[in-house]
Amino acid sequence: MMMVNSTGRFSGQKALLFTPQLKENDTHCVIFQYYVAGREGGRPGHLNVYIKENNSPMGLPVWNTSGPAGRSWNEVELAISTYWPNFYQVRSTHTSLSASNRLFMLNTPHFLHIKGVEVNAGQSATFHCTVNGEWRDNFNLWLQVRRTANCTTKPWNNQRFIGMFDVVNTTKQDSGRYRCIVHSNSGVGVSNYGELTIKQPPVPIAPPQLMAVGATYLWIQLNANSINGDGPIINREVEYRTVSGTMYDLQPVDKTSHKIGHLDPDTEYEISVLLTRPLEGGTGAPGPPLRARTKCAVPGEVPLDSIQASVYEDKILLKWREPAQTFGIITQYEISYKAVSSFDPVLDLSNQSGKVVKLGNETSHVFLGLYPGSTYSFTIRASTAKGFGPPAITQATTKISAPSMPAYDQETPLNQTDSTVTVVLKPAQSRGAPVSVYQVVVEEERPRRARGGEAEILRCYPLPVHYHNASGLNSRYYYSAEFPSAGVSSPQPFTIGDNRTYGGYWNAPLLPHKSYSIYYQAVSAANGETKIDCVRVATKGAATHKPNAVEPEKQTDNTVKIAGVIAGILLFVIIFLGVVLLMKKRKLAKKRKETLNNTRQEMTVMVNSMDKSYTEQGTNCDETQTLTSDTSSLVQSHTHTHSSHTHSLCKREAVDVPYQTGQLHPAIRVADLLQHITQMKCAEGYGFKEEYESFFEGQSAPWDSAKKDENRMKNRYGNIIAYDHSRVRLQNLDGEQNSDYINANYVDGYHRPNHYIATQGPMQETVIDFWRMVWQENTATIVMVTNLVEVGRVKCCKYWPDDTEIYRDIKVTLIETQLLSEYVIRTFAVEKRGAHEIREISQFHFTGWPDHGVPYHATGLLGFVRRVKAKSPTNAGPIAVHCSAGAGRTGCFIVIDIMLDMAEREGVVDIYNCVRELRSRRVNMVQTEEQYVFIHDAILEACLCGDTTIPANQLRSVYYDMNRLDPQTNSSPIKEEFRTLNMVTPTLRVEDCSIALLPRNHEKNRCMDVLPPDRCLPFLITIDGESSNYINAALMDSYKQPSAFIVTQHPLPNTVKDFWRLVLDYHCTSIVMLNDVDPAQLCPQYWPENGVHRHGPLQVEFVSADLEEDIISRIFRIYNAARPQDGYRMVQQFQFLGWPMYRDTPISKRSFLKLIHQVDKWQEEYDGGEGRTVVHCLNGGGRSGMFCAISIVSEMMRHQRSVDVFHAVKTLRNNKPNMVDLLVLNHTSLTHTEQRAEYLSNIRISSGQNPHCAE
């Protein structure tokens, strides 16, 4: 106890009391007793307590008291928190009469500093209270402000223990200050206050906003800026589910707008946005939902397994089920049918085709009037309001009918003796199958058989009975003769009973005393069926007199007379037909000669005088001709059962083709197109040059509106402007009288008026007019056949946005961009102010047209045309087509599109009159002779190759169908398709490979018959002494990226440095090696196993290697010491070990596909898919081509859900003809994915003709 009497002090003087210094980083408890008294009438006493830090001056008191005089003692407990490394001292000061008693530090546990806690509502908050001292049973530990049962303690060390308090299921009301308290016999210890902060997870206030709607996607704006709850927002997610159904998904979002894809058409979805803040439990409840329905789409395919065909001789009953994916209400079914083959080769099937439409609730139809023994292809398509879905194709074959026997007016024989009967055997008419054999049947009349037409079929005899066996079998009939069908090609006499053998049957003499009926029957057999028809040709009664001796001379005379008469008639007919044909041939030759001698001026007059357009030609005609089997063989036609993999063009084997008599430029039959083009290219008198020059050049109709002063600035070129009669007239803008002009013309399609709009590439001044036209005409498809800049000149301005742009009152938003090697597809959402709809518009931008001339091959453009045709809605407005002027390339696209339709529908093409008709609607459509010839070549390629795209879901069935051998021809569709590929593959000329054939480059070619063409050479850039810039390599396109592959030979010892120059110059990130190192074949190891290889200024450094199954992967660092500022490049080499030199195909297809996957993965990870891939085998042909082809088709499968092996290989062959020349296929049952690998990886490419270069 310590007492200080302040009465002896002067006024204001303080009495001080000190504690020892406190140095621990802890909370200390100070307890003392005091009382305060003052003089009578004086001031009351004061007692202040201070904390002094580091000998610094004292600040404000942390505790004080004052009061009137009193004689009682009071006790105070103070919790003092100290922080290392400072030291503290507790001081008390007294004024007036005051006293402090029992000031001491308790030896009770005290706390380290506790921290505040922040949690999200609903979560548990945990306070960690660290106590100095050893835990004892008499300690009482709790959390002040809120008691909790969730308290656990555990020792930290022998001097401290930890108490953990859980505040569970927190809410906003639990926010506040908390502190820990420990009570013991020695006193009470308290901690500092820790703040508990409760945050509310964020929830959007408004639902998401719908921006665009498609059949399989919904584009939304999140609307997540206004929230209930606390931020910050660290994650956004979109939750969507079907309103009726169990489908649910959650997608992370990193932008303010989001496209939800892969949705079902015509389905209502509920979409909400979820927001997340930091810490556990930070995701709020879903925001207000948006309900939206996807657009109706075309339905799925009618299930193939549901199609059932009940076949009869002249009709087929077809039944089916509706598609599993209707994507809307099925409004109708369209069933097209066509006879594709017959067992009877002479049967004309040209009129056996048609189309029927059934209501959506009808799923069966009876096709009547069919030919017996004929195979019909049926194409069934279901339709919703959006249009028709993909076709389901099946085949069914009618039953054959019995041959139709010729009529015999009477049963009187030509001649008759007691033992013989001579009759005339006439050929029967086949009905669905050719006649196999003719048979003569002799029946003994025991009773007589019914005559006339009563049960005529019962008079036929299907069971063969020999004469010797007839009595043993108790048979009344026997076969006396059998002839092959060729033996009765014309009427001819035959004598029954001449004692000779025909077809293994003895023609025994007839017995004079018996009566006989002679029957003549024809047999047809096909497809496991046998049908017979017969007719009675003669009867012979029993002789009533004694048989006379046969008079052979008389009988022979009669027979010779009959045969002579028939032979004379036949000879006359043959001579007459020969004379007629000869005269007609001379007349045609004379007519052609006169045509070739006409002058160009005369032809122009004749052409311009023609009245009918190309759409009328080919349908109204005076003369018809039928394709022969020889000419039709030029056009391949494959139809596969239960598959849509058909050649959609040129599939008519026998069709009546219309010609305009007297016209100079008639339609050309598809089967004659190859011959026609060859003649026109090689003709000396009249060829493509003369035909193109016969077109009228320049203005042929008024264009007054385009010439107005206010419209001159709207024309890119002064000589390519819009005719008045066919121009697109825009709706005038308010207050602008002359705002109806745009340089665009309507052009008719194939039987579709105004199907196209041919226009110039928009200029800055006309972009708004362009989008006005697109909206006004309800255009859903834009075709662009130019690049923005070519040869340094602006050909078209960029009239579309990268995100969103407003063109006057039209808002255009870019939704999706799909980049492919030769074209780009952009999808836009277009809105107009005041219109309550959002339209989806697709732009197809063909980037593969060269700056000069025309594409080297039509393969890419044909694929582009087909993609446009497949993706264009049938119920939309005109297709807008533009290049720069809207005449040359635009005309090429439109003519090709129209002619593909005409070839498919009519089996003819009329290119000349099509161009002429286009020029009547817009000036100078198809601007050059080169473009005109290119159109012919493109149509020819389309007709020869057809559409070989296979939907992914039909790959398995198509694969088996294409490998099914025809037992009669010992061929298969895949072989026929490969023959077509060989036929359309271009042959490289010497001038095409002029650089590779330079003398200085000979030693750089492994094989002189496997050379790259000049147009696809990758010229080396890095300088290396006097080395040339040539390497035996070729640039190849992938599915999405131009020049993605560089195919080359295995480096020769003298070209290793050129190989690494190629890798560095063309930014290659992968090397694929498909052959073995073999010094005997000059195939050295061109890479370092460790350390660095130097090739002039190039340094190749080994980094690492790895072996996985059949693949060794090595990583190298390449560096050009002459250009250190370029840095280094990482390259990974993939050496495939699973393809021995003696095998045509890899040992494991799965390993080969894994190789492709690893290359794709490395390309994407290292260079974002932008780097090129060097592929090499022994000669840069076979194996390299197979790798590229499978890569292309695999990428096509991922992005387009279809495969087209033919197109992929054709594209490769356009640059290097040796890329594919042998097809090897296995017939193994695989899953769908493995089926794809089987189908693709069995492509085998060998090198060419040089045996030393074979792989």
Please determine, for residue 1033, whether its predicted confidence score (pLDDT) is greater than 90: yes
Q: pLDDT confidence of 1226, banded at 50, 70, 90?
A: very low
Nearest to 431 by CA among 317, 555, 342: 342
Multiple choice CATH, 704-935, 3.30.70.3270, 3.90.190.10, 3.20.20.70, 1.20.210.10 = 3.90.190.10
Please determine, for residue 605, whether its predicted confidence score (pLDDT) is greater than 50: no
- The mean pLDDT of 622-628, rounded to a whole number, is 31
The CA distance from 328 to 59, in Å, is: 82
CATH class in words for 982-1253: alpha beta
Nearest to 1013 by CA among 1039, 1032, 1037, 985: 1032
Nearest to 1105 by CA among 1122, 1087, 1118, 1078: 1087
The CA distance from 1205 to 1242, in Å, is: 11
Burial of 423 (0-12, 13-18, 19+ CB in 10 A): buried
Please determine, for residue 1172, whether its predicted confidence score (pLDDT) is greater than 50: yes
- The mean pLDDT of 27-41, rounded to a whole number, is 65
At residue 1251, the pLDDT reads 38
The CA distance from 1111 to 1159, in Å, is: 11
Query: Phi/psi at 128 (nearest 5 deg)?
Result: -105, 115
pLDDT tens, 423-479?
Answer: 999 999 888 889 999 999 999 887 544 444 444 444 688 889 999 888 888 889 999
- Domains of the chain, by residue range, sit at 6-105, 112-199, 203-293, 304-397, 415-545, 558-597, 607-691, 704-935, 982-1253
pLDDT tens, 104-130?
Answer: 455 567 777 888 899 999 998 888 888
pLDDT tens, 1106-1140?
Answer: 988 889 999 999 988 888 888 888 999 999 998 88
Known catalytic residue at 1177: yes
At residue 634, the pLDDT reads 25
Identify each DSSP E strand in 485-622 by its residue range: 492-496, 500-502, 505-507, 516-526, 529-540
DSSP 959-971: HHHHTPPBTTTTB
| Active-site residue identified among 892, 1177, 1188, 1253 | 1177
The pLDDT mean for the chain works out to 80
Exposure b/e, 832-851, CB count within 10 A at least 16 = b:
beeeeebbbbbbbbbbbbee
Q: Under CATH, which architecture does the 112-199 domain have?
A: Sandwich (2.60)
Whether 1063 contacts 1071, CB under 8 Å? yes
CATH number for the region 6-105 comes to 2.60.120.200
Please determine, for residue 1248, whether its predicted confidence score (pLDDT) is greater than 50: no
Whether 557 contacts 541, CB under 8 Å? no
- The mean pLDDT of 552-578, rounded to a whole number, is 54
Q: Under CATH, which architecture does the 203-293 domain have?
A: Sandwich (2.60)
Give the 3-state secondary structure of residue 638: coil
CATH number for the region 415-545 comes to 2.60.40
At residue 17, the pLDDT reads 63
Query: Angle at the Cα of 1153 (from 1147 to 1154), degrees rounded to 5?
Result: 100
Q: Residues near 737 by Cβ (< 8 Å), separated by ≥ 6?
A: none
Give 76-112 as a 3 state SS string.
EEEEEECCCCCCEEEEEEEECEEEEEEEEECCCCEEC
At residue 456, the pLDDT reads 42
Q: Which residue has the higher pLDDT, 83 or 280?
A: 280
Nearest to 1169 by CA among 1200, 1195, 1139: 1195
pLDDT tens, 336-391?
Answer: 999 999 888 888 888 889 999 999 889 999 999 899 999 999 999 999 888 898 99
At residue 1241, the pLDDT reads 45
DSSP 237-275: EEEEEESSSS-EEEEEE-SSEEEE-SPPTT-EEEEEEEE
Q: Residues near 230 by Cβ (< 8 Å), separated by ≥ 6?
A: 199, 200, 201, 202, 277
| Active-site residue identified among 883, 943, 1016, 1083 | 883
Structure token digits, residue 858? 């039509």
The CA distance from 323 to 313, in Å, is: 29
DSSP 302-339: PPGGG-EEEE-SS-EEEE----S--SS---EEEEEEEE
Considering the chain, what percentage of its residues have pLDDT values greater than 90?
40
pLDDT tens, 724-765?
Answer: 999 999 999 887 888 999 999 999 999 999 999 999 999 999
Residue type, 870: A
pLDDT tens, 925-955?
Answer: 999 999 999 999 999 999 988 888 888 888 8
The CA distance from 489 to 483, in Å, is: 11
Whether 111 contacts 130, CB under 8 Å? yes
- The mean pLDDT of 252-268, rounded to a whole number, is 89
Whether 649 contacts 942, CB under 8 Å? yes
Chain centre distance of CA 1188: 17
Q: pLDDT confidence of 767, banded at 50, 70, 90?
A: very high
Are domains 203-293 and 415-545 of this chain identical in fold? yes
pLDDT tens, 1040-1088?
Answer: 888 999 999 999 999 999 999 999 999 999 999 999 988 888 999 999 9
CATH number for the region 304-397 comes to 2.60.40.10
pLDDT tens, 212-222?
Answer: 888 888 999 99
pTM score over 0.75: no
Q: Among 285-299, 655-669, 819-833, 1151-1165, whose mean pLDDT is lowest?
A: 655-669
The CA distance from 1111 to 332, in Å, is: 54
